[in-house]
Amino acid sequence: MTQQDNDEGLDWHVRHKNLYGWCFSEEGRKAYIRQHKPIEEQETRLRLMKRIIGPIPPMLIRLCKEASIAGRALDAAQKTRLKARGGSWGVQETYDKTLQTWLAVQEKLRSVQEICQPEMERLHAVECPDCPWNGETIFPGSE
Ligand SMILES: [Zn+2]
């Protein structure tokens, strides 16, 4: 499966400790890196973060997207809960439900990622040459 040619999709190294991840906006993420990441990390981050050409297992694409959406919903529910300071039952119930959804998606994602890992590592070797990724970070030896 190839990805749609829009700004949202599965990218290599969206974050420095991930081989790949869902990116809601490449331009948005790149702007964030330029504004907020240490200057000495920016070239590497910007060079390595790129849309995966594939083919990528469709199930993996679907779950990565679902997990990212669930993560955003959880962040929003957490912010609402903090604002309400635990004063409202509805807010807490929404947060609990959102958390349960996020946990369920994370579990599904983990099992699919495990199955797809060898395939993604093969693809990474082809699509991301001269990459310092060591299985944990794109900045080996810096922590
Ligand atoms: Zn890489």
pLDDT of residue 91: 86
Pair 52, 11: CB distance under 8 Å: yes
Instruction: Tell me the CA–centroid distance for residue 65 and ligand 1, in Å.
Output: 20
Determine, yes or no, domain membership for 139. Answer: no
| Phi, psi values for residue 10, rounded to 5° | -90, 125
Instruction: Tell me the CA–centroid distance for residue 51 and ligand 1, in Å.
Output: 11
**Any idea which residue has 């790149």 for tokens?**
30
Determine, yes or no, domain membership for 63. Answer: yes
pLDDT tens column, 42-69: 999 999 999 999 999 999 999 999 999 9
Instruction: Tell me the CA–centroid distance for residue 20 and ligand 1, in Å.
Output: 9
Determine, yes or no, domain membership for 35. Answer: yes
**Token representation of residue 82:** 């903090």
pLDDT tens column, 1-16: 456 556 789 999 999 9
Q: What is the DSSP string of 55-99?
A: ---HHHHHHHHHHHHHHHHHHHHHHHHHHHTT--HHHHHHHHHHH
Judged by DSSP in three states, 38 sits in coil
pLDDT tens column, 62-99: 999 999 999 999 999 999 988 887 667 788 889 999 99
Determine, yes or no, domain membership for 133. Answer: no
Instruction: Tell me the CA–centroid distance for residue 50 and ligand 1, in Å.
Output: 9
pLDDT of residue 84: 84
**Token representation of residue 62:** 């679907």
Give the count of domains, the chain.
1
Report the amino acid identity of residue 65. Answer: K
pLDDT of residue 87: 65
Instruction: Tell me the CA–centroid distance for residue 76 and ligand 1, in Å.
Output: 31
Give the residue from 44, 39, 9, 40 showing the smallest Cα distance to 27. 9
Determine, yes or no, domain membership for 135. Answer: no
pLDDT of residue 86: 60
Determine, yes or no, domain membership for 3. Answer: no
**Which range of residues forms the domain containing residue 117?**
9-127
Determine, yes or no, domain membership for 57. Answer: yes
Model-level pTM?
0.85
Instruction: Tell me the CA–centroid distance for residue 3 and ligand 1, in Å.
Output: 18
The pLDDT of residue 143 is above 90: no
Determine, yes or no, domain membership for 2. Answer: no
pLDDT tens column, 111-142: 999 999 999 999 999 999 999 999 999 999 87
Pair 53, 2: CB distance under 8 Å: yes
